[in-house]
Amino acid sequence: MEFTKMHGTGNDYVYVNCMEQELPNPGAISEYISHRRFGIGSDGLIMICKSDVADFKMRIFNADASEAKMCGNGSRCIAKYVYDKGLTDKTTFTLETLSGIKTIDVFLGEDGKVAEASIDMGEPIFKCADIPMISDHFMFVDQGLVLEEDVVYNGTAISVGNPHFVTFVDDVDALDLEKLGPKFEKHKLFPENVNTEFVQVIDKNTVKFRVWERGSGETWACGTGATAVCVATIMLGHAGKKGEELTVIAKGGTLKLTHLANNHVILRGPAVTVFEGVIDIPDEVINK
């Protein structure tokens, strides 16, 4: 299997050109190649495919073999892949995802290759039934989520194509996410599990966050997570304003987000090619 390893602010995936034929059993392949000691090492696998409704289609699989609906960082890297490799000469194009069709703009560096990209992440969803979240509330905004007896985290549930829970803390670096993250991810109120963002306000225009992604654990960035962070931060009045750019710092780098008046959120950030190669996939993985 020929592949390209790429990352957006440290959120790294293995990308495969599947314009001619999609991979067999991609979930199992993702699990195999994602291992950071016995594989390539990544947060998952992204297939770049043909689409009947957009310029390209993305299928994304987490490191645990589960299929995800959307990835903001992955979408930006797809933009770099298809432009740099000559699969398109458009600087604005559409991408089909399981959470809808997204529009992406690319920004070229001095070498003529894509340095950054921005993507319209669409409108955030707050209705609990649509996130999905099991709750008596119509929306779960700045409410207490009980993790265990006497342990409650106030937070906001948002869907940005996949479910997120955004909670604000005093010091994100002090958190033991390996212990804390799974308690949120597998919480009984989220039937499809949940991504969790732990956010620290730095100043009136800047926040910092760490993310625990369902199916992947802690990742160095998350585009949909940063989008949820932007929306919750502005809505609760912690930092930023609608229509103005908010700086969102992830473990792997900085993203710029703008919550527009029409309720869409624009995510802009870097896309980086790390290396390319070929890996043999054992038959037992393909036939798993």
* Catalytic residue list: 71, 222
Tokens of 146: 């009980």
In angstroms, rounded to a whole number, what is the distance separating the alpha carbons of residues 195 and 119? 20
* 193 annotated ligand binder: no
Q: DSSP per residue over 30-78, as a string?
A: HHHHH-TTTSS--SEEEEEE--SSSSEEEEEEETTSPEES--HHHHHHH
Known binder of ligand: residue 62?
yes
Q: Is residue 162 part of an annotated ligand binding site?
A: yes
Annotated binding residue 214:
yes
Q: How far apart are CA 229 and CA 166, in angstroms?
A: 6
* Annotated binding residue 206: no
213 annotated as belonging to a binding site for a ligand: yes
Per-residue DSSP letter, 86:
T
Buried/exposed 203-233: b ≥16 CB within 10 Å, e otherwise: eeebbbbbbbbbbbbbbbbbbbbbbbbbbbb
Helices (H), the chain: 26-34, 72-84, 177-185, 223-235, 283-286
**CA 183, CA 208: separation in Å to the nearest integer?**
21
Residues 6+ apart with CB under 8 A from 247: 205, 206, 207, 254, 255, 256
Residue linked to tokens 């599990």: 193
**287 belongs to an annotated ligand binding site:** no
Q: Is 263 assigned to a binding site? A: no
Tell me whether residue 218 is annotated as binding. no
As annotated, the binding site for substrate includes 11, 62, 72-73, 162, 195, 213-214, 223-224
As annotated, the binding site includes 11, 62, 72-73, 162, 195, 213-214, 223-224
